[in-house]
A and B are shown apart, each in its own frame.
Chain A
């Protein structure tokens, strides 16, 4: 009998410590599957963020570096420029990338660094306990917007694909969702596209993965998926924002 499905080699055989229902596990897995399929594992250097994404340290079976909050694209720049033959990707959350690390992501993108960035957007700070992120929706409750995000004082959700696709240098900018098997398959194809661009030395690629946070949203895992469809996915439309052949 042929084995047709199993744990990718790029994932360690460990029990997940993400919260129940968290989609980070899915993101970790599909990235690992793409690394395996493109035979990148042994030349990969993964740059981790600060936040729940840091926990990738426990799961990916590749070389990894843990960067300061928001600085992953700068760290990846140093790595890739010194080791252009290695495969370098950043894995960042929305607080990390769109708030404290906004400068680093914009300029790495603008320089057209030949790296790939996986951006996991769940509209909230997960690790620190549910504070408002730049991606938090209007009226969404968080521990620092307890009456809901008020755009008059806290601004509007920042849409990173829309912002980054306005730059000249990036080669691929796309937003996917992990709320359903169908969307996860699409997301994986997008990650593969991004990674192939780097292999072909084409330049900067950016894949946003819409995610959830049952713990800090205060809902069950299933409810969190419904909430994504009814709320976040309406504010953050899925699709390819930029693709340069």
Chain B
């Protein structure tokens, strides 16, 4: 397999192109600028369309229009921009259209910092827009995973006719790793029975998220609730690392998970039995991984995030349900967690917990 040495943001863009993405619209915001820049250069080579939108709002609405024609469409941004795109993401979800949204996280709230952080877990998983819709949210922790999940994200979006989010932090967006790139294919929805392509020899179609009476809207909500529930069983992805005999369970995603793994290796050298539960899908959240822990052995769960206060820990609590002590450790604002800091934290837990 030929390996390419690629930067995270560019790898995501290339994976999207190889997945058949033929429309990209985006707006400049750090730390994701390499995605629209790469798209502007490469998209024409793949026969697709790149538009630099006049705003985040316009960009996501261009994606909304493109998706309605059956094109595989994508946009990307960072937290402040995702806030602006949230209107459009809601309309995409409410209109049952597929699209892929990439969020490359930075420090926040407000303008925050342009450095890597994981401040947008709640935005990604709970409410990326109004109206209570959900999206599958993938959180890769390597550039290879960023490639693989971006590539897959289009299939999930098409399958469900629902937006899918790729959530990475600025670290993953900016660093370089060797990756194997997937084969190009030209999948699209042009032949689907919902695309707008003119009512030639068929009845006119409408793409809409509006309902003038309550019942059809409720029916839509019920259908979508079933879809969201179906993800839990078939689409949840989680990695367990050194979990067979773990007494102290770390949980982290994305860049934090990579750092946590290194810390776990060091802790194990010291005889501390630490392990990692790494959610790959943040929605659906891998609750079962926490529900099924052996709580006779596991005494403590340490949630590690580049976010203060921690955000994922709310979901962790719902899995653990009080059966082990939970604490959090995080840095934020663009300060990357140090391996030593995690080791120190776990040593303290091990000492205090009488392991």
Contacts and interface: CB of A to CB of B under 8 A. Distances in A.
Contacts of A52: none
A54 B51 CA distance: 27
Contacts of B54: 103-104, 106-107
A61 B73 CA distance: 27
Contacts of A104: 54, 57-58, 61
Contact of B61 (A43, A57, A67, A106): A67
Contacts, number: 134
Residues of A in contact with B, size category? 20 to 34
Given A74-B53, A78-B25, A57 B208 contact: yes
A87 B69 CA distance: 12
B196 interface: yes
A79 interface: yes
Contacts of A87: 198
A173 B210 CA distance: 31
A105 to B, nearest CB: 10
A78 B61 contact: yes
B64 A103 contact: no
Nearest to A76: B65
Contact of B49 (A62, A66, A75, A82): A82
A57 B208 CA distance: 9
A29 interface: no
A66 B209 contact: yes
State the majority secondary structure of interface residues on B: mixed
Interface string A62-94: 111111100100111111111100110000000
Interface string B63-96: 1111111110100000000000001100100010
B214 interface: no
A44 interface: yes
Interface stretch (B108-116, B139-147, B199-207): B199-207
A65 B208 contact: yes
Interface string B6-20: 000000000000000
Contact of A43 (B25, B87, B95, B200): B200
B95 to A, nearest CB: 8
Interface in B142-171: none
A243 interface: no
A82 B47 CA distance: 10
B55 interface: yes
Nearest to B198: A43
A42 B61 contact: no
Given A42-B200, A83-B69, A71 B61 contact: yes
B204 to A, nearest CB: 5
A71 to B, nearest CB: 4
A81 B49 contact: yes
Contacts of B51: 77-78, 81
A31 interface: no
Interface in B199-235: 199-201, 204-210
A68 B88 contact: yes
Contact of A79 (B25, B66, B87, B209): B66
Contacts of A63: 196-199, 204-206
B68 A79 contact: yes
B65 A74 contact: yes
B23 interface: yes
A45 interface: yes
24 contacts: A41-B199, A42-B201, A43-B198, A43-B200, A44-B199, A45-B196, A57-B206, A57-B208, A61-B204, A62-B204, A67-B64, A71-B57, A74-B57, A77-B51, A77-B58, A78-B23, A78-B63, A78-B65, A78-B69, A81-B62, A82-B22, A82-B73, A87-B198, A107-B53
